[in-house]
Amino acid sequence: MFELRLNNKTILLNWGTLAMRLFTTKNNTDISGYFDLMAKAGTDINTLVSLVHCGYEAACIKSNIPIEYTENDVCDWIDEIGGVFKTEGQLVNFIKFIVDKTILNVSNEVKEEKKKPSKAKLG
């Protein structure tokens, strides 16, 4: 889990298959579209807000706590931690967290594919 530390509270964010599913559903895209949107996360405010909110929703679901905040609240969080143009800090670290988790998920799936035995019958 990633901790987004605000002035008076800490918001848990998570990224994995659930968050990716929430994000692709919310953005009406598939997994290839996910990578396209990730590539422009630094220049598209809607993508950035959606990533943070989906991370928040996934953390709530995983932790079995109610989802209380909206994307409008996410905008306030982003402002509180320095805004969208801050080149270092928590927002950038969360994007790095997403990239690391995405690469780990894709890498693990590739390894699993290589481990599967061939189902071709001989003879």
The residue that leads in pLDDT, 7 or 36, is 7
- Count of domains observed in the chain: 1
Burial class, 55, CB count within 10 angstroms (exposed 0-12 / middle 13-18 / buried 19+):
buried
Does residue 118 register a pLDDT over 60?
no
| Position 122 in a domain | no
Average pLDDT, the chain: 86
Q: What is the CA radius of gyration of the chain?
A: 17
Question: Can you give the residue range of the structural domain that contains 99?
Answer: 2-115
| Position 121 in a domain | no
Neighbours of 101 (CB within 10 A): 18
pLDDT of residue 41: 80
68-114 tens-digit pLDDT: 999 999 999 999 999 877 778 898 899 899 988 887 655 555 555 55
| Position 89 in a domain | yes
